[in-house]
């Protein structure tokens, strides 16, 4: 029996290996990057998601509708609601992203997406992981800023590989052994590295930190570090340092050194964990936006999850929309509306940092999501 299980696992692993090599081959032929300045029309897909998602996305859409009022009236911008990316629908169909939903998403240029719930256990993959793969959104970009602490960080997390590439497709020998897989490709690492270094050069950054655990994961993380350094050779003006992920996590809370960091380049899982820590330093995961960027598509979302406990407690309407609003700011910047993005950024700073006339606590003793957005719209 054991020999049969081993043989079946080896055959299954061969299938996975061939799939990933085919993906590597596809990535070697880079897609042409979309130029929004030449687009006659830009379609923004609006996806509510699960839990508090529809609540905070509703408010973000109000803000986008206000900022883009003239453009939507002229037909230059289309704000398109996309239904069906709910946990209930995904479970019913047994699809992490239902085919009809994916078809509608692919008709858009960019996506503003609320958090989606991934059930524990089972085989249903994360909707985010599926969308990142299907739309080839290889760069997860998360800025964190705390001016009073001299913190101005931006994280470039590889978004399509690592432990997430095959996270729902591991091998299990019942009651004996479970194995999951981590995937690092040459092409995948080069493109996320180039994205990080290009950003650093374009924005006058001089420090870039490569984060791995290459002393332990010598093949995958070792490859990531090596290729990142090869890319770095084309950017001699940028000072590059390697840090292991554990000491990186420690350094983010070390007030003596953390202000020296600027740009971080990380594999998928480490980027997921470390950016949540960074967001907490900024004020909580509810304060951080996230961009998922590829050559053809881009998706913008809150950094936090769907908060089912808040819905169960009847406090969903008291959720903080700041994270999805920062994602909306990043979306505006991505499609070329820098002036509108700057207006939103300034309004968020006034409402959340300086005046604070309407305060969200996340509970009934604070303002509602709608009340905060009303306040923000006044400042706009």
Work out the number of other CB atoms within 10 angstroms of the CB of residue 235: 17
CB of 158 closer than 8 Å to CB of 27? no
- List the end-to-end C-alpha distance of the chain, in Å, as a whole number: 68
Report how far residue 102's alpha carbon sits from residue 45's, in angstroms, rounded to the nearest whole number.
Answer: 11
Report how far residue 258's alpha carbon sits from residue 149's, in angstroms, rounded to the nearest whole number.
Answer: 9
Work out the number of other CB atoms within 10 angstroms of the CB of residue 309: 11
C-alpha 29: how far from its chain's center? 24
- Mean of pLDDT over the chain: 94
Q: Which two tokens stand for residue 335?
A: 């499609």
Angle of helix 338-349 relative to helix 369-379, nearest 10 degrees? Answer: 120
What's residue 310's pLDDT?
Answer: 94
What's residue 129's pLDDT?
Answer: 84
Close Cβ partners of 73 (under 8 Å, ≥ 6 residues apart): none
**Based on the number of CB atoms within 10 Å of its own CB, is 286 exposed (0-12), middle (13-18) or buried (19 or more)?**
buried
What's residue 120's pLDDT?
Answer: 82
What's residue 174's pLDDT?
Answer: 87
Close Cβ partners of 374 (under 8 Å, ≥ 6 residues apart): 358
Q: What are phi and psi of 168, to 5 degrees?
A: -105, 10
What's residue 30's pLDDT?
Answer: 66
DSSP designation for 157? E
Residue 347 Cα distances to 141, 143, 283, 338, 351, angstroms: 22, 17, 17, 14, 6
What's residue 31's pLDDT?
Answer: 67
CB of 144 closer than 8 Å to CB of 271? no
CB of 279 closer than 8 Å to CB of 159? no
Report how far residue 76's alpha carbon sits from residue 269's, in angstroms, rounded to the nearest whole number.
Answer: 37
* Among the four given CATH numbers 3.40.718.10, 3.20.20.60, 3.40.50.1820, 3.90.1010.10, the one describing domain 31-137+294-379: 3.40.718.10
For residue 271, give the nearest of 221, 329, 321, 197 by alpha carbon. 221
| Angle, vertex CA 320, rays to CA 317 and CA 323, nearest 5 | 135
Give every residue of the chain whose pLDDT is below 70, as ranges. 30-31
Close Cβ partners of 372 (under 8 Å, ≥ 6 residues apart): 59, 320, 321, 322, 351, 358, 360
For residue 305, give the nearest of 26, 157, 118 by alpha carbon. 118
């Amino acid at each position: 029996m054991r020999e049969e299980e081993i043989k079946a696992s080896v055959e299954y692993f061969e299938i996975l290996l061939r799939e990933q090599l085919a993906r590597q081959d596809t990535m070697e032929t880079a897609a042409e990057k979309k130029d929004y300045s030449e687009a006659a029309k830009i379609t923004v897909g609006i996806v509510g998601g699960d839990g508090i998602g529809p609540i905070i996305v509703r408010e973000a859409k109000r803000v986008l509708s206000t900022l883009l009022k003239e453009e939507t009236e002229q037909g230059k911008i289309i704000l398109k609601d996309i239904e069906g990316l709910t946990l209930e629908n995904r479970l019913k169909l047994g699809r992490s992203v239902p085919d009809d939903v994916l078809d509608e998403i692919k008709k858009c240029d960019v996506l503003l997406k609320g958090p989606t719930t991934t059930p524990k256990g089972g085989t249903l993959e994360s909707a985010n992981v599926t969308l990142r793969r299907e739309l080839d959104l290889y760069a997860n970009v998360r800025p964190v800023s705390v001016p009073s602490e001299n913190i101005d960080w931006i994280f470039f997390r590889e978004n399509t590989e690592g432990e997430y590439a095959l996270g729902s497709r591991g091998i299990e020998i019942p009651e004996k052994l479970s194995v999951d897989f981590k995937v690092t490709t040459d092409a995948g690492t080069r493109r996320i590295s180039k994205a990080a270094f290009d950003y650093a050069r374009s924005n006058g950054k001089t420090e870039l930190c490569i984060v791995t655990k290459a002393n332990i994961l010598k093949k995958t993380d070792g490859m990531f570090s090596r290729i990142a350094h090869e890319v770095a050779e084309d950017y001699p003006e940028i000072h590059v340092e390697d840090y292991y992920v554990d000491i990186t996590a420690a350094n983010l809370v070390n007030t003596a050194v953390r202000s020296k960091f600027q740009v971080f380049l990380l594999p998928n899982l480490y980027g997921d964990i470390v950016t949540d820590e960074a967001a907490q330093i900024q004020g909580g995961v509810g304060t951080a936006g996230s961009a998922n960027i590829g050559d053809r598509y881009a998706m913008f979302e809150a950094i936090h999850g769907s908060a089912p406990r808040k819905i169960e407690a009847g406090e969903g309407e008291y959720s903080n929309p700041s994270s999805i609003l920062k994602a909306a700011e990043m979306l505006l910047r991505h499609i070329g509306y820098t002036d509108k993005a700057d207006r939103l950024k300034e309004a968020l700073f006034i409402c959340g940092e300086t005046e604070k006339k309407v305060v969200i606590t996340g509970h009934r003793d604070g303002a509602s999501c709608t009340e905060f957005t009303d306040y923000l719209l006044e400042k706009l």
